Amino acid sequence: MESFPSPCDKGNGRKRKGDPEKWKRNQAKKERYSAKTLPKRLLCNHKKSFKCMSLKMSDIKLFFDNFYAQPDKLKQDAIILKQCVPKEQIREKERPRKLVTEKRGGDHVSMKSAHKKEAVMKFINSIPCQEPHYCRGHTKRYYLASELSINKLWKQYNLQATPDIKVKKSYFRHTFNTNYNLGFGSPRTDVCATCLKFSSELKREKDADALNKLMIGQRLHKLRAKAFFDKLKEEDPKLKIFSFDCEKNLYLLKVPDQIAYYLRNIYLYNFTIVEGTSKSKLTQDNVHAYCWTENTFPKAANEIASAVYHRLRNSDLSSCETIRLVADGCAGQNKNTILLAMLSKWMTEAPQNIKQIELVFPVVEHSYIPPDRVFARIEKEVRQHEVLNNPQKYLEIISKFSTVHNLGTASCEVFDWKTASQYVMKPVGSWHFQFKKCAQTTYLKKNVKIS
């Protein structure tokens, strides 16, 4: 749903303003005019007529606190001047005594153009904006349409503005950057179809009752998506979270030659498992990449189940009771009976402290999980290389962000889970519920003696 910009807090704009209070020079000045000790009675050698000794310690403390309340020389001088009694000319009307206000320096220009700034901010506040599509929580940054820019907005503003409130491009840019935390989005290609459906119907619908139903449906859809992210960021010492996904196919022949573009390339597959919550730092210790080439094994459910099985068997699970597996709902790789059969097999050999396994699938097209962050870093590194013509070069790049395992070797075998599952599990069509609509599957360990 569209929203509109609003000015952000100080220091949270698109570009930060300078904070003079944190400058080293000003901090030294503040320290110079701050109190060095606690208030104490001073020994005075003045005559008794000055009555210096009549001052109480409470009076000295009061003056001390007032004087050092503001460590600024001009304000401290003003307090001293206030206590002085000058000898003035005798006038008919006595002037009231007030603290002297320092009027030198400062900004005397901004107030002259305050009406221009107000008009610019009113124009920016009227531009529709939206939150980013991929976000693991609430963000204070909003995004304008991808076809806009600061230069285009400045031109639009001056076209509709009267001559007295027209501004220069530099003034408009400064106001936009310092008072708002706004960016410009990119053309979207992977937006949730349900979200697009609700957005288009909300714009088109005129009936109040139908509009209310659409708003409720959109709200429920977003709450379901948020519930998934809450499960992904849950931190519990007795809970271990594994999230996994496949990267897009990597071409083994990446060369600048134009002819290579039309050739049939062999793919390198990268299946990544991240151990930890969505807030965990991504390191080589908790990121595991299982790689293989197209000519050795296909990218199918057997390979995915074998990689997950290897990770479960080789992870430290001594302190947890619940395993939570998080993946997108791709039926050919993750959401199938082959993975369920593998988990059933692993539960028979799992440590005694493991009580249950949760297999969680997010709302379709709202599945931004930690492996996607790893893939973004890998693809950014790949774009910087002009020539990549063998698997080893790809593995060197992937190893910068994860621990690489070669799938199909002796240390990480590929098992035929598909054939094995047919002997112990019924076909999905004969189940008493629709597995396709399941968002979570839970395995509980029971003390059943098998003969």
Quote the tokens at residue 144.
Answer: 């304008």
> Range of 141's domain?
111-184
Distance from chain centroid for Cα 101: 46
Residues 413 and 279 in one domain: yes
State yes or no: pLDDT of 137 exceeds 80. Answer: no
Per-residue model confidence as pLDDT tens digits over 53-93: 788 888 888 888 989 998 999 889 988 888 888 777 666 66
In a domain, 70, yes or no: no
Residue 235, amino acid:
E
State yes or no: pLDDT of 450 exceeds 60. Answer: no
Q: Which of 55-69, 134-148, 158-172, 212-226 has the lowest mean pLDDT?
A: 134-148
- Summarize the confidence of residues 393-416 as an average pLDDT: 93
State yes or no: pLDDT of 190 exceeds 80. Answer: no
State yes or no: pLDDT of 136 exceeds 50. Answer: no
pLDDT at site 232: 86
The pair phi, psi for residue 254, each rounded to 5°, is -115, 95
Residues 142 and 202 in one domain: no
Residues 213 and 250 in one domain: no
CB atoms closer than 10 angstroms to residue 247: 20
Quote the tokens at residue 149.
Answer: 């820019």
Residues 130-149 as b/e (b if ≥16 CB within 10 A, e otherwise) read eeebeeeeeeeebbbeeebe
State yes or no: pLDDT of 218 exceeds 80. Answer: yes
Q: In terms of pLDDT, which residue wins out, 339 or 106?
A: 339
Q: Which of 36-50, 120-134, 229-243, 354-368 has the highest mean pLDDT?
A: 229-243
pLDDT at site 129: 84
**Angle between helix 73-83 and helix 57-68 axes, rounded to 10 deg:** 140
| Gyration radius of the chain over CA positions | 34
Q: In terms of pLDDT, which residue wins out, 411 or 138?
A: 411
In a domain, 325, yes or no: yes
pLDDT at site 90: 64
Rounded to whole angstroms, how far apart are CA atoms 381 and 370?
18
Residues 271 and 372 in one domain: yes
Residues 284 and 135 in one domain: no
Quote the tokens at residue 357.
Answer: 């396994």
State yes or no: pLDDT of 225 exceeds 90. Answer: no
* C-beta of residue 4 within 8 angstroms of C-beta of residue 166: no
Per-residue model confidence as pLDDT tens digits over 327-363: 888 877 778 888 888 998 998 888 889 999 999 888 7
Rounded to whole angstroms, how far apart are CA atoms 284 and 289?
10
The separation between the first and the last C-alpha atoms of the chain, rounded to the nearest angstrom, is 59
- Summarize the confidence of residues 130-137 as an average pLDDT: 56
Residues 344 and 317 in one domain: yes
pLDDT at site 153: 95
Nearest to 241 by CA among 309, 304, 301, 312: 312
Rounded to whole angstroms, how far apart are CA atoms 130 and 4?
8
Q: What is the pTM of this model?
A: 0.64
Residues 179 and 203 in one domain: no
Rounded to whole angstroms, how far apart are CA atoms 334 and 417?
13
Residue 451's pLDDT band (boundaries 50, 70, 90)? very low
Residues 168 and 286 in one domain: no
Rounded to whole angstroms, how far apart are CA atoms 431 and 259?
51
For CA atoms 146, 147, 151, 155, give the dihedral sign: negative
Residues 174 and 207 in one domain: no
The pair phi, psi for residue 17, each rounded to 5°, is -85, 155
Rounded to whole angstroms, how far apart are CA atoms 344 and 131?
41
333 burial class (0-12, 13-18, 19+ CB within 10 angstroms)?
buried
Contacts (Cβ under 8 Å, ≥6 apart) of 372:
134, 245
Quote the tokens at residue 171.
Answer: 């003034």
Residues of the chain by 3-state class (helix, strand, coil), percent to 5: 40, 15, 45
273: which strand partners? 244, 288
State yes or no: pLDDT of 408 exceeds 80. Answer: yes
* C-beta of residue 162 within 8 angstroms of C-beta of residue 124: no
Q: Is 11 left (phi over 0), alpha (psi -120 to 50) or beta?
A: left
In a domain, 307, yes or no: yes
Residues 303 and 412 in one domain: yes
State yes or no: pLDDT of 178 exceeds 80. Answer: yes
In a domain, 351, yes or no: yes
pLDDT at site 10: 74
Rounded to whole angstroms, how far apart are CA atoms 445 and 347?
7
Residues 146 and 197 in one domain: no
State yes or no: pLDDT of 304 exceeds 70. Answer: yes
In a domain, 375, yes or no: yes
CB atoms closer than 10 angstroms to residue 122: 11
State yes or no: pLDDT of 251 exceeds 90. Answer: no
Rounded to whole angstroms, how far apart are CA atoms 325 and 23?
49
* C-beta of residue 418 within 8 angstroms of C-beta of residue 298: no
Rounded to whole angstroms, how far apart are CA atoms 117 and 25?
31
In a domain, 22, yes or no: no
Residue 188's pLDDT band (boundaries 50, 70, 90)? low
Residue 21 DSSP symbol: G
Rounded to whole angstroms, how far apart are CA atoms 233 and 231?
6
Q: H or E element: which one contains 240?
A: strand 239-246
Per-residue model confidence as pLDDT tens digits over 258-295: 777 777 788 999 999 999 998 889 999 999 999 999 99
Quote the tokens at residue 255.
Answer: 């060369």
Residues 146 and 295 in one domain: no
Rounded to whole angstroms, how far apart are CA atoms 153 and 123?
9
In a domain, 356, yes or no: yes
State yes or no: pLDDT of 448 exceeds 50. Answer: no
- Tell me how many domains the chain contains: 3
In a domain, 79, yes or no: no
